[in-house]
Amino acid sequence: MEVAKRAPASAATTSGAPRANPRDGELAKDTEEDDGEAFVRRKGTFAKDLSYMMYGFGDAKEPDPESVELMEDMLVEYLTNVAHRAMEVAERRGRMQTEDLLYVIRNDRKKFARVDELLEMNAKLKDARKNFDLHDPQAVLAQQREAEEARRREAEAKANA
């Protein structure tokens, strides 16, 4: 397993070193310059999705692996930055909550609206799952009775038509 130190984003395109294919899922050692803590992440985690997104935004169907790797580095850097800022906001309470992320992105209307939409959708799905418990035999039987009743009504409607 090869471990490599990540170069700053500005040096990523000027480096003469050969770059690995980001789809290989290799490990890379990233370092935080401000506090010296190091962590290990899998390179190529977002490569497939980024390739599709790049194609959707006008790039080639198979974008250059170096471009995908650069985009992934930029994405990971951005997500890390947002997460760190949200953790700083959450320090006062001791644990991070959804509201901390919302506070960090509050000035970006598009992102805020999208997160709000996803949170509403998540709440609806959670509520639907709560009402649809397959582990409860009575709920399963009630659902089957409702489905049979709907089929019976549909058959009657066809017969009367």
pTM of the model: 0.56
The three-class DSSP label of residue 5 is strand
How is the chain split into domains, by residue range? 1-104, 110-161
CA 102 to chain centre: 16
* Fold annotation for 1-104: Histone, subunit A (1.10.20)
Tens of each residue's pLDDT in the chain, 161 residues: 333 444 444 444 333 444 444 444 454 544 444 555 556 667 888 999 999 999 999 999 999 999 999 999 999 999 999 999 999 999 988 899 999 999 999 999 999 999 999 999 999 998 887 776 666 777 777 878 888 888 888 888 878 86
